[in-house]
């Protein structure tokens, strides 16, 4: 059974850092690209970042570029999101999602999310 | 980035109704369009990929259509468990983007 379990969320002051992790199981992790998607309270889904299977291609939304860094450890079946210079508008539920390796690369599995609150 | 625009933002419907949700892309994305359902307090769930392919296990009352810039998600006969928010997503460009969502309520 495919499982994605996020961790690392919490309450943090503006300007500080936080590192999110996503532990994957139930599939061959290094066959798949991974993504982070966030959802601010009462708002829609916002794609945040992605990393290819071998870390060769990483992408970021403009809203987080230069502040967030995505990485993965295929030996540990995990993907991380280092979030620096946090802003109140980064407050959201952060989901880890797996991208199907086929033609359309849809997000076929999602974690339950980890909540980040940026507030003084 | 490709902008995805859904309409309507919300709609009210009854059990048994036929519901159509539209999604427009700001540029041609061929069939690289996916639909997700999100119930309150839950993670999104994939319904349709490649514009019209139903994900395994998704009821056949859901269907997707369109290509290029105009897409639709149709629920042929709304069921109580379908009251949720629906999102379209493009996977044509590497920077994936979602529509703003359509909330289907009673």
Of A102, A86, A106, A105, residue with least CA distance to A94: A86
Whether the bond into B8 is cis, omega within 30 of 0: yes
Q: What's the pLDDT band for B106 if we cut at 50, 70, 90? A: confident
Residue of A46, A62, A111 with shortest CB distance to B43: A111
Mean pLDDT of B9-32: 97
Q: Which residue matches tokens 């450890």? A: A73
Assign B40 a pLDDT band (cuts: 50, 70, 90): very high
Q: Which residues lie across from A46 on neighbouring strands?
A: A38
Cβ-based contacts of A112 with chain B (< 8 Å): 43
| CA gap B57, A38 in Å, rounded | 25
User: Could you give the CA distance from residue B87 to residue A116 in angstroms, rounded to a whole number?
Assistant: 22
pLDDT recorded at residue B71: 98
Distance from CA of B26 to the nearest CA of A (A): 17
Q: Around Cβ A54, how many Cβ atoms within 10 Å?
A: 10
Task: Count Cβ–Cβ pairs < 8 Å, chain A vs chain B.
Answer: 62
Q: What does the pLDDT profile of chain A (120 residues) look like in tens digits?
A: 999 999 999 999 999 999 999 999 999 999 999 999 999 999 999 999 999 999 999 999 999 999 999 999 999 999 999 999 999 999 999 999 999 999 999 999 999 999 999 999
pLDDT digits (tens, 9 = 90+) for B60-85: 999 999 999 999 999 999 999 999 99
Rounded CA-CA distance A32/B79 in Å is: 34
State the average pLDDT for chain B. 97
Check whether B8 has a pLDDT greater than 90: yes
Q: What are the backbone dihedrals phi and psi of residue A112, each rounded to the nearest 5 degrees, phi first?
A: -90, -10
Residue of B nearest to A35 (CA): B96
CB contact under 8 A, A47 and B101: no
pLDDT score for A47: 98
């Amino acid at each position: 059974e495919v499982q994605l379990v996020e961790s690392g969320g919490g309450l943090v002051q503006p300007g500080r850092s936080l590192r999110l992790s996503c532990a994957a199981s139930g599939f061959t992790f290094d066959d798949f690209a991974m993504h982070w998607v966030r959802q601010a309270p009462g708002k829609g889904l916002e794609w945040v970042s992605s990393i290819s299977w071998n870390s060769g291609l990483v992408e970021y939304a403009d809203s987080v570029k230069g502040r967030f860094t995505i990485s993965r450890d295929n030996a540990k079946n995990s993907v991380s999101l280092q979030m620096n210079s946090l802003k109140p508008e980064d407050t959201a539920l952060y989901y880890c999602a797996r991208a199907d390796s086929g033609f359309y690369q849809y997000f076929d599995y999602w974690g339950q999310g980890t909540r980040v609150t940026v507030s003084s | 980035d490709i902008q995805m625009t859904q309409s309507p933002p919300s709609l009210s419907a009854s059990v048994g109704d036929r519901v159509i949700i539209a999604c427009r892309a700001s540029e041609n994305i061929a069939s690289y369009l996916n639909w997700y359902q999100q119930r309150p307090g839950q993670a999104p769930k994939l319904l349709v990929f490649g514009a019209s392919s139903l994900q395994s296990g998704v009821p056949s009352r859901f269907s997707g259509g369109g290509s290029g810039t105009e897409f639709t998600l149709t629920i042929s006969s709304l069921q109580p468990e379908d009251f949720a928010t629906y999102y379209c997503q493009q996977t044509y460009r590497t920077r994936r983007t979602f529509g703003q969502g359509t909330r289907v309520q009673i």
